[in-house]
């Protein structure tokens, strides 16, 4: 069948909306019709060339929700009509990482940039038969797409697909950066550096975990306002100001944790966050960077003697099959805000505008509405 899809013909490059041919779902795969897809900054890393894809054309998108249209042979847990959230790491449940309760590090993560499905072959093709790589095995920027059964998490049908889409990446990634990676505890002073689609959810997670002071940092006023609306206690234009404030609040010691969620990270950002934390404090690096980025200019003496911790975090150290229902339950109970995260909706054809708006700082999160 045919589908509209936003693809990169090369990286760096702009998104081109083209018609792709979508294969039938093979064994343990499903065909999903996406209703909404989130414009996460991670897809922009492919467009900017920070992160190369391994197969071009490359159909982007790893945050989305839709409806199962067809199931392939052997699929047991999903049926036609099910509403699903795309999981950009298809946790197998059997590898050593899944068995350790670290489904976010499932060995299937190796496929995230490869472009194929789990059997090593492609499901999307151009009209002339060229293979089209899939982003994270899901390609939520293709209206119709093939997903592994493990990459589609069933949700209740009464949940609006627009907000469910965000639960595929931005919400758990940010929430878990606070709750799991930083291990925010009641009474903590927490700094969140970069209040976009990820950082805003780090703010929400820190609030839920009981942080007494959440110091949001973003150069963009609109993002600081949003942070204050959704749980930050104070907002600053740069981390130096937040560091001063954290020290004022803690008799000179510093924040319990500083979470880095800027758009494109470098070693300086992590070093600045390192300077904001106290003894036995934690810096969390959630942001992606250019793949060639190396080194964090911090004092090794301070790292050891102050017993500081620098913690990487993928998908908020959450387990996709547990995170999606848990976050939606938190939303039902009013403990996390989801509707408030969406600033603008775009038709698929407007995707480049959506990313321009992200760079211009006028979106907290932009969302593709395939019906628009
Ligand atoms: N680790 C993971 O699992 C994971 C998952 C999804 C996204 N990400 C990454 O997280 C990062 C954030 O994604 P997003 O979608 O929220 O991006 P975004 O562009 O929506 O938000 C980034 C924010 O950082 C702010 N910012 C930029 N420089 C800053 C600085 N020096 N100090 C403070 N704020 C600054 C920007 O104004 C913007 O508000 C990206 O690098 C993305 O690739 C990681
Ligand atoms: Zn993402
Ligand atoms: Zn696994």
Ligand 1 pocket mutation pick from 194, 268, 362 by most atoms within 8 angstroms of CB: 194
> Does residue 312 line the site of ligand 1, with CB under 6 A?
no
Which residue among 42, 89, 167 is best mutated to probe the pocket of ligand 1, counting the most ligand atoms within 8 A of its Cβ? 42
Query: From CA 347, how far away is CA 146, in angstroms rounded?
Result: 21
Q: Which residues surround ligand 3, an ion (CB under 5 A)?
A: 92, 95, 98, 106
Q: Using the mean position of ligand 1's atoms as its centre, give its distance from the Cα of residue 218 in Å.
A: 10
Ligand in closest contact with the CA of 243: 1
Distance 198 CA to ligand 1 centre (A): 6
Q: Is ligand 1 within 6 A of the CB of residue 179?
A: no
pLDDT score of 316: 98
- CA-nearest of 248, 256, 253 to 192 is 256
With beta carbons less than 8 A apart as the criterion, state whether 29 and 146 touch: yes
Nearest-CA residue for atom 20 of ligand 1: 196
Q: In the numeric block, which tokens belong to residue 235?
A: 């907002």
Same-fold call for 2-167+338-369 versus 171-314 = no
Q: Domain ranges for the chain, please list them.
A: 2-167+338-369, 171-314
Ligand 1 touching residue 191 (CB < 6 A): no
Predicted local distance difference test score (pLDDT) of residue 170: 98
Paired sense of beta strands 189-193 and 15-22, if any: unpaired
Instruction: Report the C-alpha dihedral over residues 366, 86, 34, 344, rounded to 10 degrees.
Output: -10
Q: For 171-314, which CATH class? A: alpha beta
What is the model's pTM?
0.98
Give the closest residue to 70 by CA, choosing from 20, 133, 145: 145
CATH 3.90.180.10 corresponds to the domain 2-167+338-369? yes
- Alpha helices (H) along the chain: 41-48, 96-99, 161-166, 170-176, 199-208, 221-229, 239-249, 267-276, 300-305, 320-332, 351-360
Decide whether any atom of ligand 1 lies within 6 Å of the 270 Cβ: no
User: Quick check: 172 and 107 in contact, CB under 8 A?
Assistant: no
Between the CA of 139 and the centroid of ligand 3 the distance, in Å, is 20
**Which CA distances in Å does 16 have to 20, 47, 220, 350, 369?**
11, 11, 29, 10, 17
Dihedrals phi, psi of 158, to nearest 5 degrees: -85, -5
Atom of ligand 1 nearest to the CA of 39: 15
**121-161 pLDDT tens trace:** 999 999 999 999 999 999 999 999 999 999 999 999 999 99
Query: Is the minimum distance from the CB of 218 to ligand 1 under 6 angstroms?
Result: yes
Residue 325's SS3 state is helix
Supply 155's token pair. Answer: 């949700």
Instruction: Give pLDDT, residue 113.
Output: 86
Question: Does ligand 1 come within 6 angstroms of the Cβ of 263?
Answer: yes
201 CB less than 6 Å from ligand 1?
A: no
Q: Which ligand is nearest to the CA of 100?
A: 3
Q: How far is CA 287 from the centre of its chain?
A: 9
pLDDT in tens, 178-195: 999 999 999 999 999 999
363 lines ligand 1 (CB under 6 A): no
| pLDDT for 298 | 98
Tokens matching residue 207: 């609030």
Ligand 1 contacts CB of residue 224 (under 6 A) = no
Distance 90 CA to ligand 3 centre (A): 8
Which residues in 143-162 are b (16+ Cβ under 10 Å) and which e?
Answer: bbbbbbbbbbbbbeeebebb
Give the rounded percent of residues in the chain with a pLDDT score beyond 70.
Answer: 100
Residue nearest to atom 18 of ligand 1 (CA): 196
Sequence-separated (6 or more) residues with CB below 8 Å from residue 273: 191, 193, 239, 258, 259, 260, 283, 285
Low-confidence ranges of the chain (pLDDT < 50): none
Give 137 Cα–ligand 3 centroid separation in angstroms: 15
């Amino acid at each position: 069948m045919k589908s509209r899809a936003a693809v990169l013909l090369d990286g760096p490059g702009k998104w081109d909306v083209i018609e792709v041919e979508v294969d039938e779902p093979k064994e343990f795969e499903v065909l999903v019709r996406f209703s909404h897809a989130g414009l996460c900054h991670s897809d922009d890393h492919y467009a900017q060339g920070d992160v190369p894809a391994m197969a071009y054309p490359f159909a982007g998108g790893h945050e989305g929700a839709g409806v199962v249209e067809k199931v392939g042979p052997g699929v047991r847990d999903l049926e036609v009509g099910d509403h699903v959230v795309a999981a950009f790491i298809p946790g197998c449940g059997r590898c050593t990482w899944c068995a350790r309760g670290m489904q976010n590090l499932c060995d299937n993560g190796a496929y995230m940039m490869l472009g194929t499905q789990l059997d090593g072959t492609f499901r999307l093709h151009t009209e002339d038969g060229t293979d089209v790589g899939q982003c994270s095995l899901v390609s939520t920027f293709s209206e119709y797409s093939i997903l592994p059964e493990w990459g589609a998490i069933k949700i209740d049908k009464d949940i609006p697909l627009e907000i469910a889409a965000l639960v595929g990446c931005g919400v758990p990634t940010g929430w878990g950066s606070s709750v799991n990676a930083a291990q925010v505890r009641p009474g903590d002073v927490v700094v969140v550096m970069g209040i976009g689609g990820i950082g805003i959810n780090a703010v929400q997670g820190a609030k839920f975990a009981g942080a007494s002071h959440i110091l949001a940092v973003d150069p963009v006023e609109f993002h600081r306002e949003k942070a204050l609306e959704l749980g930050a206690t104070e907002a600053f234009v740069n981390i130096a100001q937040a560091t001063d404030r954290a020290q004022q609040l803690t008799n000179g010691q510093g924040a319990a944790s500083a979470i880095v969620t800027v758009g494109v990270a470098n070693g300086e950002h992590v070093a600045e966050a390192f300077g904001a934390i106290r003894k036995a404090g934690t810096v969390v690096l959630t942001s992606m960077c250019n793949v060639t980025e190396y080194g964090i200019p911090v004092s090794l003496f301070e790292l050891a003697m102050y017993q500081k911790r620098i913690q990487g975090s993928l998908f908020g150290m959450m387990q996709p099959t547990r995170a999606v229902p848990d976050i939606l339950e938190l939303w039902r109970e009013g403990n996390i805000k989801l509707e408030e995260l969406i600033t603008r909706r775009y038709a698929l054809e407007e995707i480049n505008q959506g990313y321009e708006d992200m760079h211009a700082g006028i979106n907290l999160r932009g969302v593709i509405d395939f019906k628009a």
